[in-house]
Amino acid sequence: MEEAKLNFAAAKLTVKTILNDEALQAEARKIEPVTLYRIGSPRTETRPAFWQAYSRGIRVGVSGLLLLIGWVMFDRQAYPYAQSMLFVSILLGGYAVAVKGARNLLRFDFDMNVLMTVAVTGAMLIGEWKEAAVVSFLFAISEMLETYSMDKARQSIRSLIEITPQTATIIRNAQEVTVPVEELIIGDTILVKPGEKIPIDGEVIDGATYVNQAPITGESMPVEKTAGDSVYAGTLNQQGAIWVRVSKLVQDTAIAKIIHLVEEAQAEKAPFQAFIDRFAKYYTPIVMSLAILIALVPPLLMGGQWNRWIYEGLALLVVGCPCALVVSTPIAIVTAIGSAARNGVLIKGGLFLEQADSIRAIAFDKTGTLTKGEPQVTDVFSCKAAYSEQDVLRIAGSLEKASEHPLAKAILQKAAEMNVEVAVPESFSAIPGKGAKGVVEGTAYSIGNLRLFEEMDGLSLLDDNLRDQVSHLQAAGKTVILLGTGQMVIGGIAARDPLRPESAEALRDLKRAGIAKTILLTGDNRQAAEAVANLAGVDEYFGDMLPEDKLTRIKELKNRFGHVAMVGDGINDAPALAAASLGIAMGGTGTDTALETADIALMGDDLSKLSYTVRLSRAALRIIKQNIGFSLFIKLAAVLLVFPGWLTLWMAILSDMGATILVTLNALRLLRHR
């Protein structure tokens, strides 16, 4: 073994060693679950057993059930049975925390686990079993939510790996041979047929097609690929067969880089340390020490009665036992997360709820985020008096009826909306990278981009006015296709990926909620980025961005604004989502990788939920601060009553339980947040 590296965020241990070290691999397989990361071939060897995967949730569920049973028994005065039920509930919900708390106490590391342990133990010592069980149960729920969100984030790496094919069709000795992708070397020639995913990065050496490379670049429209063009692993070949020369090994592909970027970005996130954790380092030992001093000093140095001062020390320990303080944060977080879920926002943990309050800038992907992700026809125009707009749409629709081009569906949909009947073309053939041609009603037509018609001999009407019209439409972020015969252009059609209806208002609402800057980051060209930015009201925009470019831009924005959110829906957004202070995914149209990498998911793809989330975060933090302040005030008031001897044990119990109930009721106000 040459090197070992542990990534806590990804739960990944990377060991650099020789490939055939079977002894090391045998030891690795003993760990459950195991993911062996060979170069270029990550493989999941085993999956966690049922109990291992769901034990925490089962324990918390049983703990809650026993808590309910014990509470009912207490009301019916069946005390021995009630205590037994509540003790088992506490054991199931808080055993792991108690073990860590005891260990940290011995190290004089007074963290949240120590605070929790002291709270529950103190409550049990004075017989407040119900309170101890409630605190233990609520804290267990909070811990489970944090663990769940981290586990979901780790699954993003697996889904990234699964988008790339595991095998490739290679041409060797004029024969097609299927081999594992990790066996490919630079210079090999592979065949990618229509409808297949490209297995590795390379350069097209023969053939022409359209490739949907949204997973890598985020481009809304498939890109034409001909000889000399680069292609990426994990992208989809939509039309013609292509022969590709391998240019990178499998571990160096663009998708492999995205996997690496996601892991590194997740690892960069600093561990969350709430105010209550920092406060507990000082509060807990002070209260414990003060209780001991009150119990010992007066009898030893001032001749006080042992019974009285032990009672006062116990009362101080009870009132100082930070049950309300412990509950104040998790109950508010759990309530806010539940309220968000009912309103279509999935928040994966308390850390992310708190982060939403500090966001000052939000970056957006374009396709599928600010826009719908489906092209729609926006303009139909005629260039010759003999042809109306309906004629242009009818002929174009007839040609596209035999086409698999992404714009074909948009054209046919527009024809249906305008009640224009289309016919099956008498003949049809695609012209890769340019368009298509066919015969409709006995006349030969061509349909495609400007370049297709520029290459036609003897063509008329391709004048400056038409070029200006095409340029104007393209400047508006639209894709333009022309229709004509061999002698003239008769018209054209423009299409655009439309803005979501709520996008513009959602961005204005974010401004009202205090977001200082909105930014658009897209793999589409600058013209398309500018057009969408103007329509949506985005402050800044950047086009032609690859995943690593988005990641770099997010880091720059964090330097400018401190806390930045990223909203996206594609695999190409995953590194930026992970690197942002807060990653937000579109839950309806978003890929699994985007959803799992993000910290928050908008399950209905409703951007108006963004401002709701920001306001909910602020309300939750406001209530948490209120709860903490109230809890500390009650503790201080009770401590002041100890010294004149006015604090009785029942007053201590009442004040502590009353504070716990009040902070809980205050937190439940978040359920009404809309």
What is the mean predicted confidence (pLDDT) over 132-149? 69
**Torsion on CA atoms 206, 207, 212, 215, rounded to nearest 10:** -20
Element spanning 429, H or E? strand 427-431
Q: Does the pLDDT value for residue 208 go beyond 80?
A: yes
**What amino acid occupies position 467?**
R
Closest CA relative to residue 568, chosen from 344, 363, 355, 357: 363
CATH number given to 167-252: 2.70.150.10
pLDDT of 9 reads 46
pLDDT of 32 reads 43
Q: Does the pLDDT value for residue 423 go beyond 70?
A: yes
Cα separation, 352 vs 565, whole angstroms: 11
Greatest CA separation for the chain: 117
The radius of gyration computed from the CA coordinates of the chain, to the nearest angstrom, equals 32
Q: 423 vs 105, which has greater pLDDT?
A: 423
Which range among 35-39, 172-176, 263-267, 357-361 shows the weakest confidence by mean pLDDT? Answer: 35-39
Which of 30-44, 55-69, 376-390 has the highest mean predicted lDDT (pLDDT)? Answer: 376-390
Cα separation, 405 vs 437, whole angstroms: 13
Closest CA relative to residue 501, chosen from 602, 373, 372, 611: 372
Q: 416 vs 158, which has greater pLDDT?
A: 416
The predicted-structure confidence for 9-60, as pLDDT tens digits, reads as follows: 455 666 666 555 566 556 655 554 443 333 344 444 445 556 666 777 788 8
pLDDT of 204 reads 94
pLDDT of 112 reads 62
Q: Does the pLDDT value for residue 150 go beyond 60?
A: no
What is the mean predicted confidence (pLDDT) over 456-460? 62
Q: Residues 6 or more apart from 447 whose CB is under 8 A from it?
A: 396, 399, 400, 435, 436, 437, 481, 482, 483, 484
Q: Does the pLDDT value for residue 281 go beyond 90?
A: no
Which of 75-89, 255-269, 660-674 has the highest mean predicted lDDT (pLDDT)? Answer: 75-89
Q: Does the pLDDT value for residue 245 go beyond 80?
A: yes
Which range among 90-104, 141-155, 507-521 shows the weakest confidence by mean pLDDT? Answer: 141-155
Q: Residues 6 or more apart from 434 whose CB is under 8 A from it?
A: 224, 448, 449, 451, 452, 455
The predicted-structure confidence for 463-473, as pLDDT tens digits, reads as follows: 778 888 888 88
Q: Does the pLDDT value for residue 570 go beyond 80?
A: no
Q: Please give the CATH topology (third level) of the domain spanning 349-371+500-613.
A: Rossmann fold (3.40.50)
Catalytic residue annotation: 365
Describe the crossing of helices 129-162 and 254-268 by its angle, rounded to 10 degrees.
160
pLDDT of 273 reads 40
**Residue 495, Ramachandran bin (φ over 0: left; ψ between -120 and 50: alpha; else beta):** beta
Q: 377 vs 601, which has greater pLDDT?
A: 377
The predicted-structure confidence for 330-368, as pLDDT tens digits, reads as follows: 777 777 877 787 777 878 777 788 888 889 999 998 877
Closest CA relative to residue 167, chosen from 192, 186, 195: 192
Q: Check whether the bond before 575 is cis (ω within 30° of 0).
A: no
Q: 266 vs 636, which has greater pLDDT?
A: 636
**Torsion on CA atoms 475, 477, 483, 488, rounded to nearest 10:** 0
Indicate the domain borders of the chain. 3-51, 167-252, 349-371+500-613, 376-496
Same CATH fold assignment for domains 167-252 and 349-371+500-613? no
Share the mean pLDDT of the chain.
Answer: 78
Q: Which CATH superfamily is domain 376-496 in?
A: Calcium-transporting ATPase, cytoplasmic domain N (3.40.1110.10)
**Residue 652, Ramachandran bin (φ over 0: left; ψ between -120 and 50: alpha; else beta):** alpha
Is residue 500 classed exposed, middle or buried when 0-12, 13-18 and 19+ CB atoms within 10 A define those classes?
A: buried
- Under DSSP, the state recorded for 163 is T
Q: 575 vs 148, which has greater pLDDT?
A: 575
**What amino acid occupies position 60?**
V
What is the mean predicted confidence (pLDDT) over 624-646? 76
What is the mean predicted confidence (pLDDT) over 546-564? 90
What is the mean predicted confidence (pLDDT) over 360-381? 87
Q: Does the pLDDT value for residue 186 go beyond 50?
A: yes
